[in-house]
Chains A and B, each alone.
Chain A
Amino acid sequence: MMDVRGLGVLLETLCPMFLLLDNDGRIVQVGPTLQKLRPERAMAEQNFLDLFQLVRPRTVSTVPVLMSMAGAKLHLRFHDEPRTALKGLITPLPDQGGTVINLSFGISILDAVSDYALTSADFSGADLAIELLYLVEAKSAAMEASRSLNQRLQDARVAAEEQAFTDTLTGLKNRRAMDHILGQMASTQTDFALMHLDLDFFKSVNDRLGHAAGDFVLQEAARIMVEETRSDDAVVRMGGDEFVIFFRNLTDEKKLSAIAGRLIGRLREPMSFDQNPCRISASIGTAISTQFDILKPAEILHAADLALYEAKRNGRSRHHLFSDIASSVQREHMVKPR
């Protein structure tokens, strides 16, 4: 039969965080790693309950109750700082010979290794503490790499959206692209015509059949506009049901009127969404770059806008050239209608 001394030697090897208590709850012997947590204060000879507070089970505050808890799991912490949490198992020695408590850090291991400068020599070879620390560090590194990738992807997405020149619903160019096109045409002194096109009755399709139908109509209208223009013309969706078409090197008003007529004709043909007929049309105003002595992008847009307004005022579903109304505009100082 092994004496208590022999048992202590054995425990020091197997469980470096053990406590051997006598029947009065006094610490007889302490494992080297556990003692390392309180280098200034020898644990031997002290009362267990003076050193540790039992967190679970909470009811234990006296030595006899503690001693009666054979095989129980304990959650405890130091009374003094740092109040490291420990977990453990209590088991009595035979023949009223005292009690052994084996402790470990559990989840508090992460703080403990820094608070107490522990090394792998402080843990039993059977302890998974080192593997746990390894895993935490490896996972943190992997998470960090993942986070940084996500951040870069997010930044790239925002940048791509900011730089995008495409209207995502219709695949046409967007308003930002239009500013570029206008600027470029002005700086290279390219002659061009600018058509401002508004869909008529679009709002009623949207209200009556819902947004899905509205989106469908916009996509169909976009397709028609692309089909009715040349590949180096540019079709822009300004937003809502408002479009702008640039005709590069085309300033012939007859040809432009013919194109506008074809556009209106095709846009008036009924479309069918989920077997519901959607009827729209288009009003168009056209301005030509050669009508201006010095081309300012805002001015030609405004001119096309005035022509469009005239088309709407005259009953929609029609085309007006800015040149038709230019003289009256100059006379009346007509302001931009909205």
Chain B
Amino acid sequence: MHGLINRAVQSFVCATYGQACWLRVAAAAELGFVELEAMLVYDADTSLRVLDALCADRNRARAEMLEDLGTYLVSHPNTEGLRRLLRFGGVTYVEFLHSLDDLSDRVRLAASDLSLPALELRELSGAEYQLHCFPGLPGYSSVMVGVLRAMADDYGALVMLSHDGQQGDADVITIALVESSFAEGRQFELGARRP
């Protein structure tokens, strides 16, 4: 599994549950080290062990934990860069939803060796959408639920999300758009410079 994914998990655990929790998880997962590197590639097994150890440590279901990870990735200042990259997807939440079709290609532009499963947005009506998450990364659709929820806040949209089981081999997330400009949303400028 790509180090970026593993590193994201470590960053999430440290920011949410603290360094001590991370050290426990790293030990329980028998990593043999405590720092995961974003630019290295690890065995798929490593990531799963970390995730299982984390869920056991916090006594929470894997899907819930991954949703929180998705939310963290978009809303925490640590990962502001990622939020910005997602905001390039569009000016409105609906445009953002449509840009998810290109997400795996965009990710490959950024990190050519990071391949994420395909996503496909289906528009049922102007207010109801389905996001089909294709296989390739276990738990990806749970992370996406968290991402979609946090991005809705980011755009100031009010949405209802539900995980609707499977269609074919894809996990389906239903997105009901209640109000596209419910709140102010967060500022996004194309030219923002990193400090």
Interface size on B, residues (CB 8 A): 23
Is residue A158 contacting chain B, with contact meaning CB distance below 8 A? no
Is residue A164 contacting chain B, with contact meaning CB distance below 8 A? no
Identify the stretch in B15-23, B49-57, B106-114, B172-180 within 8 Å (CB) of chain A at 4 or more residues.
B106-114
> Chain A residue with minimal CB distance to B88?
A134
Q: Which residues of B contact A142 (CB under 8 A)?
A: 39, 110-111
* 16 interchain pairs, CB-CB under 8 A: A110-B191, A113-B191, A117-B191, A119-B190, A130-B88, A133-B190, A134-B106, A134-B109, A135-B109, A138-B111, A141-B85, A142-B110, A145-B4, A149-B37, A149-B38, A152-B37
Is residue A146 contacting chain B, with contact meaning CB distance below 8 A? yes
Report the bound CA distance from A145 to B106 in whole Å.
Answer: 18
Q: Are B189 and A113 in contact (CB under 8 A)?
A: yes
Q: Are A137 and B191 in contact (CB under 8 A)?
A: no
Q: Which residues of B contact A119 (CB under 8 A)?
A: 91, 189-190
> How near does chain A come to B25, taking the closest CB pair, in angstroms?
21
> How near does chain A come to B180, taking the closest CB pair, in angstroms?
16
Is residue B90 contacting chain A, with contact meaning CB distance below 8 A? yes
> How near does chain A come to B2, taking the closest CB pair, in angstroms?
11
B37, B88, B90, B189: the one within 8 Å of A117 (CB)? B189
A118, A120, A135, A146: the one within 8 Å of B110 (CB)? A135
> Chain A residue with minimal CB distance to B37?
A149
Point out residues on A near B: beta carbons under 8 Å. Answer: 110-115, 117-121, 130, 133-135, 137-142, 145-146, 148-149, 152
> How near does chain B come to A235, taking the closest CB pair, in angstroms?
31
Point out residues on B near A: beta carbons under 8 Å. Answer: 4, 7, 35, 37-40, 81, 84-85, 88, 90-91, 106, 109-111, 189-194
> Chain A residue with minimal CB distance to B110?
A138
The 7 closest A-B pairs by CB, nearest first: A114-B191, A138-B110, A113-B191, A113-B190, A134-B88, A145-B38, A149-B39
Q: Are A145 and B109 in contact (CB under 8 A)?
A: no
> Chain A residue with minimal CB distance to B95?
A120
Q: Are B81 and A141 in contact (CB under 8 A)?
A: yes
Q: Are A130 and B81 in contact (CB under 8 A)?
A: no
Report the bound CA distance from A113 to B84 in whole Å.
Answer: 14
Give the most central of B7, B81, B90, B194: most A CB within 10 Å. B81
Q: Which residues of A contact B38 (CB under 8 A)?
A: 145, 148-149
Q: Quick one: given A133-B88, A141-B110, A142-B111, are A149 and B40 in contact (CB under 8 Å)?
A: yes
